[in-house]
Structures are given as structure tokens and as C-alpha cells.
Structure 1
């Protein structure tokens, strides 16, 4: 039986300039709760486009796609994510399973 692939979840969202501070404050309120309390969560990032400051990218990495789906379907998910979503005028979500990874910190085994 193979180990489930890690997953990368990508949200491409628009946040009007006047809602940027509220959006970031909402992220700040939930980020450590998710990082420390949601099974399978590895990391997340919130990125803002320098070319279009209303365009944002939110990525998260999970131990498996099943972990993310369980979190997304959990009763607390909508309550925690709601204040961030309230700032968005557009949102698109895409789910990926990670197949290959390259890093400058990858250690190769000798032999």
C-alpha cells in the first residue's frame, strides 16, 4: 500500500484595497489555530501580487488531500475562514497532489 501524496491547495482570490487590513487581520487571527490544531496541516502562505495588489494567492500544504478535505468539511472550518472570505470579491480553489519536489536543502542518501 502506497503512502498518500502530500497535497497543495491553491486559492486565487481578489480582495479590494479597502479590505486589505481586515483580510490580513482575519488571517492573523486564525493562522496559528490552523497551524497548531488541524490534523495534517503542514504550512500555508498568503501572497500579494505586486502588479495587482488586489490579487492574492493563498497556498497550503497538507500531509494528504484527505486531511484537507476533512478540515474543509469540519464544523469549525467555515467559522474560522468566514472573516477572510467576507473580504473576498472573487475566489477560485484548486487542489493538487504533490508528485515531485526539488529543494536546495534536499539531502541525498549516500550509497
Structure 2
């Protein structure tokens, strides 16, 4: 388990614009975002098992919605910050490969460059 959905919702929502906030829900997947980036939260009951963020690999997308979701919402709102995440993203952008960053809490963010200029970040523990 990464975190409880209730804790994720509380920390994340205080750090992102209203349009990107997580809703109260009993479904197993919750998706927020826009045309530039989306974040899907996978959960079992109140336990978040995985988070996937998909973004267009452009400066506009990365500095806009991806930044709000990953940096403001997860790193800031959840206090999951790590320079390892930044280095993994920069390496992925540079070589179009796959790179993983892990923070001191053991939360892994695997950044994978996919065809059609998309980056998928999978967050697990």
C-alpha cells in the first residue's frame, strides 16, 4: 500500500487547483487531469496500490499539468519529494529510456518514455 486514499486526497487536494482535485468515491480507479496529463489512482477499498501519471513529453505539458500533479500534488502535498524523481525524469527525457527514482520513504517513481512522445510515471512502494 502506498497510502490511504483519504490521506492522499487530503494532502494532494490542498496543493493542486480545483480542477485536478481527487473526489470522494468508492470506485477502484480515479482519474484526474486534462489533455496534457492525467493521473490515475488505483485503490482497493481505502488503500492506494498504485498511481500512474501519463503526460505528453513536451515542455508545455511537463511544466503545466504534470508539474501540478506530480510536483505540487504528490511531492509537495504528500511530502514525497526527492531529487531522485527529478533526475529520473530528466534522464528519461534525455535518452527516451526508463529510469526510476526512489525517495527515503521507499516510494518508487518509474519514468518510461513511450512511443508518440508520451511519458508514463508509475508510482508504487
User: Under a length normalisation based on structure 1, what TM-score does the superposition of the two structures give?
Assistant: 0.41
Question: Using CA pairs below 8 Å that are at least 6 residues apart, which structure has the higher relative contact order?
Answer: 1
Per residue, is there more strand in 1 or in 2?
Answer: 2
User: Under a length normalisation based on structure 2, what TM-score does the superposition of the two structures give?
Assistant: 0.38
